[in-house]
Amino acid sequence: MAEILTLGISHYPPLIGPDERMAYIFKRMLQNPKLPEKLRSPQGWPEPMQAEWSNDEGAEAAGRHRQELVGWMRQVRNALDEFKPDFVLIWGDDQYENFRYDIIPPFCISAYDNFSFSPPANNVWSETEKVYELPGNKVAAKFLATRLIEEGFDTAYAYKPLHHPLGHAFTNAIYYLDYDRKGFDYPIIPFAINCYGRKVIAQKGGMPAFDRDVGEEDLDPPAPTPRRLFDLGAATARILKESPYRVAILASSGWSHAFLVGKNHYLYPDTPADRQLYDQLCAGDYQAWRNYPSKTIEESGQQEVLNWSCLVGALNELNRKPKITGFVDTWIFNSSKVFLIAPEK
């Protein structure tokens, strides 16, 4: 009988760079020509937002934000090392990286023999030549894809990359779980989810372009629904429970992203919506997650929460509540970040 460890982290990209650049997304959103006049200067912002920005454009707050995030990454890494999995299955989004105009699968398992990738330039570790060479587990990946198809989930799979070695939802998870650079040798199975849906091509899975308007006719077909991904996660856990493997399953993503929240003028995340989901997660109210509307996901900029829909479905299937959780909120650092550790006992 298999053993399964369930984990959740954020793959927040600015954590890779120095503190003085952590607010670069916020600064970009301040350039929105349609930003209301009162929001163009700190005097018009909510007081907590002003305090986080302070008189140094968020540099000191960035240090505190980093400290909190890295502290959570270390807790998750410790749980992973204590568990010693045969492989780590990672649910993460592909933001116009490997999947582009030629194909956008709803979800896809990377059944590669191995993975090779490097941190971007100007990273916080001052690394210029580091290369991560990680094994996959092709046999386990094919087993999972086969069983999911047999259960009615038309799962895409791939044996090699298409346009990109590996999306940042997956690579950042490795960089951050190895933040102290002690090495990361666990085989991985990336399980890409089309979280960005209607904006995966139209907005290239990223920040809005302020030099053009994107109308309804420009948007792409939607992402899979929270219900479908919840059920996918449940099926994944059910299949892995019956496997011979010792598996860590990990959701890698932030929650509400400021640059996706139109009702907040793309300036700050929808923290109340995230808090509601977080409270339901901690309480084990998993059906609330399954029934969460896709429309709310889009309105609250919670596209990447769909990775966690898979994880919560797995928790429900395993009849398990989180043992350790953390919620890191912010006004100026783009997204809410949530962390979770849910062992078997």
Rounded to an integer, the average pLDDT of 333-339 is 98
Rounded to an integer, the average pLDDT of 315-344 is 98
- HEC string for 161-217: CCCCCCCHHHHHHHHHHCCCCCCCCCCEEEEEECCCHHHCCCCCCCCCCCCCCCCHH
Show the tokens assigned to 290.
Answer: 């399954």
Cα gap 87→104, rounded to integer Å = 26
pLDDT above 90: percentage of residues in the chain: 97
C-alpha distances out from residue 46 to 35, 43, 53, 210, Å: 15, 8, 11, 24
1, with CB counted inside 10 A (0-12, 13-18, 19+), is exposed
At residue 297, does pLDDT exceed 90? Answer: yes
Domain map (residue ranges) of the chain:
3-342
Cα gap 260→302, rounded to integer Å = 8
pLDDT in tens, 70-118: 999 999 999 999 999 999 999 999 999 999 999 999 999 999 999 999 9
pLDDT above 70: percentage of residues in the chain: 100
pLDDT in tens, 136-192: 999 999 999 999 999 999 999 999 999 999 999 999 999 999 999 999 999 999 999
The band of 323, judged by pLDDT with boundaries at 50, 70 and 90, is very high
At residue 232, does pLDDT exceed 80? Answer: yes
CB 169 within 8 A of CB 94: yes
Rounded to an integer, the average pLDDT of 311-337 is 98
Q: Identify the pLDDT of residue 212.
A: 86
Q: Identify the pLDDT of residue 32.
A: 96
Sorted by sequence, the CB contacts under 8 Å of residue 67 that are 6+ apart come out as none
Show the tokens assigned to 225.
Answer: 């629904």
Pseudo-torsion of CA 177, 183, 189, 194, nearest 10°? 40
* CA pseudo-torsion sign 54, 57, 63, 69: positive
- Between helix 271-283 and helix 305-317 the angle, nearest 10°, is 10
At residue 1, does pLDDT exceed 70? Answer: no
pLDDT in tens, 16-26: 999 999 999 99
Q: Tell me the pairing of strands 107-110 and 324-328.
A: unpaired
At residue 213, does pLDDT exceed 90? Answer: no
Cα gap 163→292, rounded to integer Å = 32
Q: What is the pTM of this model?
A: 0.98
Q: Identify the pLDDT of residue 185.
A: 95
pLDDT in tens, 126-141: 999 999 999 999 999 9
Rounded to an integer, the average pLDDT of 318-344 is 98
At residue 331, does pLDDT exceed 80? Answer: yes
At residue 287, does pLDDT exceed 90? Answer: yes
At residue 211, does pLDDT exceed 90? Answer: no
Which CATH fold topology does 3-342 show? Answer: Protocatechuate 4,5-dioxygenase; Chain B (3.40.830)
Q: Identify the pLDDT of residue 35.
A: 97
At residue 27, does pLDDT exceed 70? Answer: yes
